[in-house]
Structure 1
Amino acid sequence: MTNRKKHSLKVLAELNNALNLIEESDLSAFSSDSMQNSAELEIKEAEGLLGRCANELNGNTKPKLRIIHHLACSGGTLISKCLSALPNVYLLSEVHPHTGLAVDLDKPRYSPTDITSLAKYAKIPFSNELADKIFKQSIISAYEHVESLGGTLVLRDHTHADFNTWSVIPQRSRVVSLLEENFNIQSILTVRDPIDAYSSLVKNGWVHFEPKSFDEYCRRLLLLLEQFSSDQIFSYELLSSEPQTQVAAICHRLDLQFDETFENIFSLFKVTGDSGRKSDVISERERIAPQAIIEESENSPFYQKYKEKYYVTN
């Protein structure tokens, strides 16, 4: 046994003894609210120390951070609302360090809290490097704040910015690459049949890549899928038909507390990117893709590759 582990075991034993003494004490015996609050605070701090010490013994020196990924118009808003409805979960929607989609340098918008955009408007040199630093520190601060309140932070990566814009497609998610040094990242990817997702993308005017073809969309989707293992990938179609089973499976993969009542309240949560369904009931959706895109899919080599490797609902 290493000296570090011996020391950790000793500390853990001492903390356990201290916590037992605190828990066995009668808080009602304290004469003032301030003294009782102080005792309760000691318990909370001791429990936190126990948890950190246990993590050290298990080799988990970095805190766990959950991230969900999906392309635009692929059902991401629905899963984001479902996760937001889980106990003590706080979801930051569509995060990204420096996507050009958010900034129009010719028409600066009022954004007093968005230092990254203001830096671009000010033409500060190497603004993307600055954006990375601001983003990373902001997520760390948000994580620590939420954790101190007993909550769980979940990030919704704006995956569209990495894979469906004019920017060079990264080898890995930019959000993950920035945060993995400080966090133990747990990720999932949700996907929707490309025919429906691309049709919705065209309808909303969000085709930000060239060429603007369905085949190119599928090529980019395949590059995204290659970054995830099969147990990290979840289907929007299955989520729509089996919400309880699929959300439970996602919770298991992300180590979140599942609560079957999420279906009753998911529609109450507001997130960015809410361009799709407005119903407060989760149900399967009919295909509304135009005939032209359906015909294009029949001649798409990359869509055929997608169908060979991944399940597609018809």
Structure 2
Amino acid sequence: MAIPKLQAYALPESHDIPKNKVDWAFEPQRAALLIHDMQDYFVSFWGENCPMMAQVIANIAALRDYCKQHNIPVYYTAQPKEQSDEDRALLNDMWGPGLTRSPEQQKVVDRLTPDADDTVLVKWRYSAFHRSPLEQMLKESGRNQLIITGVYAHIGCMTTATDAFMRDIKPFMVADALADFSRDEHLMSLKYVAGRSGRVVMTEELLPAPIPASKAALREVILPLLDESDEPFDDDNLIDYGLDSVRMMALAARWRKVHGDIDFVMLAKNPTIDAWWKLLSREVK
């Protein structure tokens, strides 16, 4: 009845994306980001230090950073730690008491902690729209596209995508920023949404060109990712300025699309703008 212990699997890649029935263009000025149920409780079923989940979180973090830079609103869903039997209703039959047995795991995972200007919606059922002001908030802000990330792909994420479609809100399911009980169920959710209720994309499709054109452009990419108000010099260690491992992993994933040898270890070995520009400005082979 409860969620089982989950095993990591290979996340979908570009060649796994099913044929989309619609070709909606992503419009940042019309979009909002949904980070769905990324609470300690739901993520804990993969155990600690799961590489697959680290990559999913890094991809979500990259999308969130992009949204922050482009004034795209960010929404979270989170189940409350206290839920009466009346509130849970049939969820008790299907999943048991769920998160209410582990209230200490109610918060969103540390690496995706909501900012003060983000909206956290109380989650009651599979769809993020159920008993929430999400539809009204989107429409009042002129947003009719919803980027969907989080867990679990074939349950809440797929249901939210379909519910969005029925409310004339275009869902964009981000294949490699989702996780599920299994790869088969993950791919099933993508196939359903691509053919019935939305568009399935990869993280990289929603982000700008992966490689900055100059060292100055690289600096513009890095500065919003830092916690410190002071700007680093080109040879300063970026970790000292608050650059964390999740954002570094997201950068590595983006830049690896052009330079296949770039990985997290390479960036972490010498985390400076000078060193990274030297890596990025190499001739592509």
**TM-score, normalization: structure 2?**
0.29
* Higher helix fraction (1 or 2): 1
TM-score normalised by length of structure 1: 0.27
Greater radius of gyration (CA): 1
